[in-house]
Amino acid sequence: MHDSKTALTVATAVFVLLSLRSIIRRRRSATVRDIDGPESKSWKFGNLADLLLPPSYGQYEFAWTKLFGAVYRIKGCFGQNRLVVSDPLALHSNHMKFD
Helices and strands (H, E) in the chain, number of each type: 5, 2
User: Which phi and psi angles does 8 have, rounded to 5°?
Assistant: -65, -40
Element (H, E) at 73: strand 71-75
Q: Each residue of 26-71: pLDDT tens digit?
A: 766 567 888 999 999 898 999 998 888 888 888 999 999 999 999 9
Residue 72 identity: Y
Longest dimension (CA), the chain: 63
Q: Quick one: average pLDDT of 14-27?
A: 83
The domain limits of the chain are: 1-34, 36-99
Give yes or no for residue 75 having a pLDDT over 90.
yes
Indicate the DSSP class of residue 99. Answer: -
